[in-house]
Structure 1
Amino acid sequence: MSRVQCPRCLRPKTHCLCPLIPRLDSRTRILLLQHPSEVNHALNTARLAALGLNNAELIVGEVFDDLPKLLNCPGYQARLLFPAEDAQPLQAYSSAPDEQPLLLVVPDGTWRKARKLLHLNPLLAALPRVTLAAGAVSRYRLRKAPGPGALSTVEAIVQALQTLEAPTSFEPLLKPFEALIDGQIEAMGEEVFQRNHGEGKA
């Protein structure tokens, strides 16, 4: 028998995260393009980010037919948050009154699935790319990061916004994410967690 699910955060009602999800304003607009395989993932952090930001939109799919319309957002300049040799590191907005904020397009999925989204949507792949500062450490303690700087989607968005809109803090966006991880550790038991994921574990 399946557990009753919260229709908003998609967590079981007994573990609903909605009370922890903030409603934050941002100058930057966030467009999350989520691969369908991520929708029912236990840590659907893209959904947490979209729920916590007033100026964010989450769209699920593989081919986005309305991408031209989504990217044509008056008052914003579209950038893809994805690594590339020519990607520009994100920098704080200047104080120039005519500077356009970013429409930050964030693919959500494994690296392989995210690359597939770019392959299937040439308009997406053609966007100028931006990257985060190197050296960030993920708080996702349940999985060994595939490499340095590998962050969950919500962590990447928080770091991007903290950089662009400094000194504004977007840390409250991470509260439901951390509660989710704590809940999973609690469910598996501390002993199992330490054995599989504890400090010093490869």
Structure 2
Amino acid sequence: MPRPSCPRCQRPESHCLCPLIPHLASRTRVLLLQHPSEVGHALNTARLAALGLANAELRVGERFDDLDALLADGACRPCLLFPGEGARPLAEVAAADPRPLLLVVPDGTWRKARKLLHVNPELAALPRVTLPEGRVSRYRLRKAPMPGALSTLEAVVAALEIAESPTRFDALLRPFEALIQGQIEAMGEETFRRNHDKAERPG
């Protein structure tokens, strides 16, 4: 029989993260587009971001037929948080115009995220922004797939702190840290050390 789960954070009731999830305001609007394969992932960090931000929305799917409507916000400047040719530093884009950003964030493995861009041409057409190099993920369960790879939640926090400096958004990371620590304790220190040496995916 499955354990009862919290309907909000979707964690087992005995490990509910809701008391740790903040409710933060932001000028930046965040649109999280999650590949369906991520929904059941233990570290569903896009969901944590959506729950913790008042001005965030989480959509799940591969093809988003209403994407034009989602992006049609004249008060905000849409941009895609994803590396690629022509991507500009987020700080540079944020400083170029006083209007707030609409930050579109694909959520999935690198392969799945690229697929989202492929099947949604509206995404591929957006101006791309990137974070500064050299950031280190707090995702300690497995090794990052490449230098500077962050979980979706970590990337959103970093992006907001750049776009809305000096406002801090690191309170969003509290449930993320608790989730990771709980999984490390559940698997045991020896298993954690063994798994930590294996290759990994972004979250």
Q: TM-score under structure 1 normalisation?
A: 0.94
Instruction: Kindly report which structure 2 residues correspond to 1:107-186, keeping only aligned pairs within 5 A, or say none.
Output: 107-186=106-185
SS of 1:80's equivalent?
Answer: strand
Q: Could you tell me how far apart the structure 1 residues matched to 2:61 and 2:85 are?
A: 27
1:143 is displaced (CA, Å) by 1.1
Q: Is the 2:142–2:195 contact (alpha carbons within 8 Å) kept by the matching residues of 1? A: no
Q: Could you tell me how far apart the structure 2 residues matched to 1:109 and 1:195 are?
A: 24
Q: Could you tell me how far apart the structure 2 residues matched to 1:85 and 1:195 are?
A: 36
* Structure 2 counterpart of 1:71: 71
* Structure 1 counterpart of 2:89: 89
Q: Could you tell me how far apart the structure 2 residues matched to 1:135 and 1:62 are?
A: 30
- Unaligned stretches of 5+ in structure 2? none
Q: Could you tell me how far apart the structure 2 residues matched to 1:146 and 1:190 are?
A: 22
Instruction: Kindly report which structure 2 residues correspond to 1:182-201, keeping only aligned pairs within 5 A, or say none.
Output: 182-197=181-196
CA shift digits 1:29-70 (9 cap, x unpaired): 000000000001000000000000000000000000000000
CA shift digits 1:129-162 (9 cap, x unpaired): 0000101000000011011110000000000011
Q: How many residues align?
A: 198
Q: Could you tell me how far apart the structure 2 residues matched to 1:5 and 1:127 are?
A: 37
Task: Establish whether residue 39 from structure 1 lines up as the match of residue 43 from structure 2.
Answer: no
Q: Over the residues paired in the alignment, what is the CA RMSD in angstroms?
A: 1.5
Q: Is the 2:157–2:170 contact (alpha carbons within 8 Å) kept by the matching residues of 1? A: yes
Q: Could you tell me how far apart the structure 2 residues matched to 1:186 and 1:128 are?
A: 42
Q: Could you tell me how far apart the structure 2 residues matched to 1:82 and 1:6 are?
A: 31
1:190 is displaced (CA, Å) by 1.6
Q: Could you tell me how far apart the structure 2 residues matched to 1:125 and 1:170 are?
A: 28
Q: Is the 2:140–2:196 contact (alpha carbons within 8 Å) kept by the matching residues of 1? A: yes
Percent of aligned pairs sharing the same letter? 73
1:73 is displaced (CA, Å) by 1.1
SS of 1:91's equivalent?
Answer: helix
- Unaligned stretches of 5+ in structure 1? none
Q: Could you tell me how far apart the structure 2 residues matched to 1:195 and 1:148 are?
A: 20
CA shift digits 1:93-113 (9 cap, x unpaired): 44x9x7111000000000000
4+ long deviations beyond 4 Å: none
Which amino acid in structure 2 is aligned with residue 81 of structure 1? L
